[in-house]
Amino acid sequence: MRTKKPSEADVIRQIHAYGASPRRWSSPSSETALLAQAGCDDAVAAALEQAGKLDRSLDHYQVHPRADVQALLRRLPAQAPPPAKDWWIESLKWFLPDDWRLVWRPALAGVVPVVFGFYLGQVVPVGDYEGLWGDDIPLDLIILSQNAPGLSWDDLLIEQGGGDE
C-alpha cells in the first residue's frame, strides 16, 4: 500500500500541535513526517525551530508526586470488592444485551399498563354485575332445556309458573 506523501501544511500542523519531536506526533503520520523532515523547506524548518524552543521550555516544568502507595492502600475500603459473578450469571449475561435498558425498558412498558389496568378495575366502578347475578333465572330451567330438546322455553316457563296459578 502506498502512503500518501504529506503536504507541507500537514507537517506544519503536526509540528504546531505536537511539537518538534516526531516521536510525539500522531502515530499514522510519524514515518511520513520523518520523510518530510529529511527534505524540509524553510517554512517547516522555521516551525521546527519555534516548536523546539517551546518544547525546551515545557521540559523545564517538572513535578514531583508523593506517590504514597501505602497511604493509598490504607484508604482502600475495608471490604473486598464484590466477588466475581457466578458462572450462571455470566452465562445469563451472554444471552442478554450489554445495555440493560434494552431489557428493563420494554419490560416496564409492558408491565405498567397491566398494573394500571388492575388498579383501575379495583377503583373505578364499571357496571353492576352483582345486580345481574341477583336476577332470578332458575337453574333448573337451563338444565331442563338441555335435557328436553322437545320443550321450548315458553313451555318450561309455563310449567314453572303453573304451580302459582
Q: Contact residues for another protein (CB under 8 A)?
A: 13, 16-19, 24, 26-27, 50-51, 53-54, 57-58, 60-63, 65-69, 71-73, 75-77, 80-85
Hey, is 117 helix, strand or coil? helix
Place of cell 500542523: 13
Cβ-based nearer residue to another protein, 27 or 122: 27
Cα→Cα distances 63→21, 70, 87, 99, 119, Å: 21, 20, 46, 41, 65
Q: How far is the CB of 36 from another protein (least distance, A)?
A: 17
Cβ-based nearer residue to another protein, 28 or 150: 28
Place of cell 529529511: 38
What is d(CA 1, CA 17) in angstroms, rounded to the nearest whole number? 27
Q: How far is the CB of 111 from another protein (least distance, A)?
A: 28
Cβ-based nearer residue to another protein, 1 or 80: 80
Q: What is the DSSP letter of 85?
A: P
Q: How far is the CB of 3 from another protein (least distance, A)?
A: 18
